[in-house]
Amino acid sequence: MSKDNFLKGAAILSIAGFLVKILGAVYRIPLANMIGDTGMGYYQAAYPIYTLMFAISTAGIPVAIAKLVSEKNSIGDYRGAQRIFRISFIGLLIGGILTSSFVFLGAKTIADKIGNSNAYYALIALAPALLFTPIMSAFRGYFQGRQDMTPTALSQVIEQLARVGMGLLLVALILRFDKGLPMAAGGASFGASAGALLGSITIIYIYLKRRKKIRREIRRSERFKKQDTSQIIKSILVIAIPITIGASVVPLFGTIDVAIVMRRLQDIGYTEKEASGLYGQLTGMAQTLINFPQVFSVAIGSSLVPAISTAFARKKFSEVKRTASSGIRVTLLIGLPAAMGLFILAEPIIKLLYFSNPIEVQESAGSILRVLSFSVIFLTLVQSLTAILQGMGKAFIPVRNLIIGALAKVVIVYVLTGIPGVGVKGAAVSTITAYMIASFLNLRAVKKYARIRFNLIDLFFKPILSVAIMTLIVSLSYNLLDGFIGSRLATLIAIAFGGISYGFALLLTSTITSKDFELLPGGSKLAIKLKKIGLLRR
């Protein structure tokens, strides 16, 4: 495959991934306004179980399919590639049937065990998604192995559009006929199943359209010794199992987390409904806003992996150091202002976005967001540092570090959430601690294996100075405008002023360089323009 085609394929997937993440993040805002914090608690309680089952049944096998199919096609063994696809498809289908049946049949027991019986409908509604998503994943892995990224991208976008559209439509209809919040949460969850179904139909249709070409390839396929089924399964599992373990860490502890939070809140006197409302404020409102900066840190990570791996393979260690340092700095340049902006404007932002909720819910969610805001710094750092370690061939290290952080999270959330004066904020503190531990351990590993000596002025002092300038302007502008034009408009203007002032602070202090812009989509062209007008000095 030519370099241009590779870059085109990567660009297609990146654009699709960006759209999918934006749609997913935005989806929860109107949803929370429709079903409130209690409904979000029912909805969010089901998702950690779903994501865990999803990771177990699909995480590693599509990657294995892509790798093995690509290897077979590269030597002209199209027949062998097709056989790998068929065997993998059967395996994923069986996995989908098992996980879907487990959730469907065990929904009531699961809901009772996590202390949120009203999450029953949300769990039931997610069961079909666990059947269709593995089917879709098999075809995505196959097409990616053929270096054809368009089917994957198209199915991802259609899946997410269907999820958002169907989810919000069902919620509106259920509320219109007054069927209650538990069923409305189920309607929201069914959006994922509708999306998985339409995504599967889309990619199967594309496969059928291209079946003639695939059959021609198989007919002219060079003859190779037929691999045993057991040998193919072993090859798939060798690749899939480590990836599946890594992908299951966060969902596994998320599942444990929801059970601990709900139970511990009830232990200190909250009813099941009140505990569900607080959990909805934490995960459905505050956490949604924490997820927005990830859109950019994930894009940075996608750029870091190939850049680091290429330099590392060619033993250009100075280039590895420069790229890794730049990646960490750019991540901080995103994470720090996002965290401080959410901290300063926590309650105004909640009131701006979740306006249909009662004022006491808005204030409570705002106080949770104020605590949780600091997790942005460490969450974005974990993602970029993980990408750097993956690029250096140290993929297991970030998984291990995340497990250590997650174990600490479980202990902290159990202790703090059971303290009456802390409550659900203890879960927020545990999230910060988990990602802080993982990021520091990852940073130590990067320093060790890349042999980097960090420039503390460029890496920490200048970004913190720029963020301090932004924070001062945001705080002053909001406080001055709030009494004159109202909270909502004052919040929007303060955010705009903050963004503009932060951009100028970065340029005036030479915090950001042309090398940093290369890690951002379209950054190189922007760097050239900024240099021409004298705003970018290096």
- B/e letters for 92-125, b = 16+ CB within 10 Å, e = fewer, are beebbebbbebbbeebeebbeebbbebbbbbbbb
Among 208-222, 280-294, 412-426, name the most confident range: 412-426
C-beta separation of 294 from 338 below 8 A = no
**pLDDT for 5:** 47
Q: Is the pLDDT of residue 263 over 80?
A: yes
Choose between 139 and 395: higher pLDDT.
Answer: 139
pTM above 0.75, yes or no: yes
Q: Is the pLDDT of residue 498 over 90?
A: yes
User: What band does 8 get if pLDDT is binned at 50, 70 and 90?
Assistant: low
d(CA 346, CA 369): 6
What percentage of residues in the chain have a pLDDT greater than 70?
A: 93
d(CA 303, CA 479): 39
d(CA 251, CA 245): 11
- What is the residue extent of each domain of the chain? 1-243
**pLDDT for 475:** 95
Q: Is the pLDDT of residue 454 over 60?
A: yes
Q: 3-state DSSP call for residue 424?
A: coil
Tell me the one-letter amino acid at 298.
V
**DSSP H or E run through 441:** helix 425-450
**pLDDT for 131:** 94
User: Which class for 234: exposed (0-12), middle (13-18), buried (19 or more C-beta within 10 A)?
Assistant: exposed
**pLDDT for 527:** 72
Q: Is the pLDDT of residue 188 over 70?
A: yes
Among 210-214, 257-261, 505-509, name the most confident range: 210-214
DSSP category for residue 226: P
**pLDDT for 179:** 92
What would the pLDDT profile of 108-130 be if each residue is shown by its tens digit? Answer: 999 998 889 999 999 999 999 99
Q: Is the pLDDT of residue 363 over 90?
A: yes
d(CA 265, CA 67): 46
Q: Is the pLDDT of residue 253 over 60?
A: yes
In the numeric block, which tokens belong to residue 344?
């300063």
What torsion do the CA atoms of 445, 447, 448, 450 make, to the nearest 10 degrees? 110
Q: What is the mean pLDDT of residues 331-344?
A: 94
| Of the candidates 441, 306, 344, the residue with the CA atom closest to the CA atom of residue 385 | 441
| Of the candidates 58, 217, 50, 55, the residue with the CA atom closest to the CA atom of residue 137 | 58
Q: Is the pLDDT of residue 1 over 50?
A: no
Choose between 206 and 516: higher pLDDT.
Answer: 206
Inter-CA distances, 259 with 124, 253, 331, Å: 18, 10, 32
